[in-house]
Amino acid sequence: MERPEYKRVILKLSGEALAGDQGYGIDPNVIHSIAEELKEVLKMDVEMAIVVGGGNIWRGMAGSAKGMDRATADYMGMLATVMNSLALQDALESVGVPTRVQTSIEMRQVAEPYIRRRAIRHLEKGRVVIFASGTGNPYFSTDTTAALRAAEIEADVILMAKNKVDGVYTADPSQNPDAVKYNSLTYLDMLNQGLGVMDSTASSLCMDNDIPLVVFNLDTKGNIRRVILGEQIGTVVRGNI
């Protein structure tokens, strides 16, 4: 059996990654492909938790920019993450992967409330745990949720799966052809240069708790497995290099 580099991981998926080429909503083919890939990873006895965004359904910042109350817009975004989480749970269980969704906002008819010890127990039993509805508070992103949950469950790493980009660059590669990709950098570098990989709250939380981050391309099949095996793909962000 191949030896994974990380034992307990948090996979951060953007909502847009679940939309596929259509750009909005949920593409069942994309979710099924992710589920199949995760199934293979779990065979290596990796403990997998997932934080998924909601940008494919609703973006709180966009609603706020158009005059909606920011807290209301953010709560709507949290509900969007629950929809994505339930879709991902269904896809995982359809390929035989036991999965639990835990929400920061209680909705017991569809998911468990978030309880740290219960989440850890699920992971120890080989179940995938999906953390939905962010932190349960407005003004905090799902990036911050990933950092917070990683600290709480003592995850070895956060895997930030991106679509259409394969790491962290000095500038947006889609707009600047001279942008250079980083193989590694520190959270402090990322904050000082305003690289926008994750928001400053999430970056600071990861830096303070010494949680490494790997930014990689989700579009390439097998990349989740490669990252967990320790292959040098994407960009690694650490507290210190």
Q: Which residues are annotated as a binding site for ATP?
A: 12-15, 55, 59, 163, 169, 172
CB 123 within 8 A of CB 129: yes
CB 127 within 8 A of CB 100: yes
Q: Residues within the annotated binding site for UMP?
A: 54, 74, 135-142
- The DSSP element (H or E) to which 182 belongs, if any, is strand 181-182
Q: Which of 82, 78, 227 is nearest to 161 (CA)?
A: 227
The one-letter amino acid at 220: T
The one-letter amino acid at 13: L
Q: What are the residues whose beta carbons fall under 8 Å from the beta carbon of 50, sequence distance 6 or more?
A: 10, 11, 12, 13, 85, 88, 128, 129, 130, 131
Q: Which residues pair with 186 in a beta bridge?
A: 238
Q: Residues within the annotated binding site?
A: 12-15, 54-55, 59, 74, 135-142, 163, 169, 172
Number of alpha carbons in the 13 Å side-chain half-sphere of residue 225: 15
